[in-house]
Amino acid sequence: MSRLTIPGGACGILLVWSIFQMPSGSGDVASRQTLSINEEPDRIVLGWSGPVQEPMSERVTAAFDRYKADPRRLVLILNSPGGSIEHGRKVVAAIRARNRAIDTLVQKAGVCASMCVSIFLAGSKRMADPDAFFMFHQASLNSNARENMKRREFGDLENALFSQAVKTIETLATDEFFRNDIGIRGVNRVWLVGMRKKISDRDIWMSGQQLVDEGSGIVDRLVPTPAG
């Protein structure tokens, strides 16, 4: 776990990866998470829909373990708005820990946003429909951390210093995320640097087709699929 300590005001501010997220919206997470399993003659398809939050890694890991002796190829279909960096890394670790090929796929009109992209990149084969949607943006503090900050009583100067410190840390966190989580096997480094510059204070949406056309290296192969 990465740690960054930024002094500000009367005391130091300690921020760790567990309070960073690639924002995924609000509401009850568990009620918006589903894992489907479809067994086919030559492959087993796991379909994840929902935020990258607990208990995603536990449920996906259990599904992998269920089929650990099955010779059929595993495919993980992703449809997610993103979520926790820390939890997403647990999912990536679960994929990489298996001594077998696990492909990733985003279907037509499906979404793989922010932290989901890192999970998608962990696939042995990274496939997407031309009309699948991918989104890239900056890391930010999660909602709990922001609420805790709002409850603190700071003066104007302290607020300004604190806001600047948070902005600096979020920038450093995003740099590390792009370097270690997105900038992996096959991803075009020049394209990645360009994307990092584009996402300052805004979301960048791209289709599977656009990612291939730009030579990003994010998608290995375009695969037309049914919507959903």
The answer to whether residue 227 is domain-embedded is no
CB crowding 94-105: b at 16 or more within 10 Å, else e: bbeeeeeebbbb
Range of 96-100, 181-185, 198-202, 216-220 with top mean pLDDT = 216-220
Whether residue 155 is contained in a domain is answered as: yes
**DSSP letters of 7-18?**
EETTEEEEEEGG
**67 located within any domain:** yes
d(CA 107, CA 116): 14
Q: Which domain holds residue 123?
A: 3-222
pLDDT at 112: 98
pLDDT band per the 50, 70, 90 thresholds, residue 166: confident
Q: Domains in the chain: how many in total?
A: 1
Convert the pLDDT of each residue in 109-159 to its tens digit.
999 999 999 999 999 999 999 999 999 999 876 555 445 555 556 666 666
- CATH assignment of the domain containing 146: 3.90.226.10
First and final C-alpha spacing in the chain = 35
Question: Rounded to the nearest 5°, which phi and psi values hold at 96?
Answer: -70, -25
Q: What is the pLDDT of residue 118?
A: 97
Q: Is the residue at 178 inside a domain?
A: yes
> Does residue 93 belong to any structural domain of this protein?
yes
Contacts of residue 154, defined as CB under 8 A and 6 or more positions apart, other chains included, come to 9, 162
Q: What is the mean pLDDT of the chain?
A: 84
Relative to beta strand 3-8, strand 11-16 is antiparallel
Q: Are strands 126-128 and 221-222 parallel, antiparallel or unpaired?
A: parallel
| pLDDT for 169 | 84
**Structure token pair of residue 12:** 């130091």
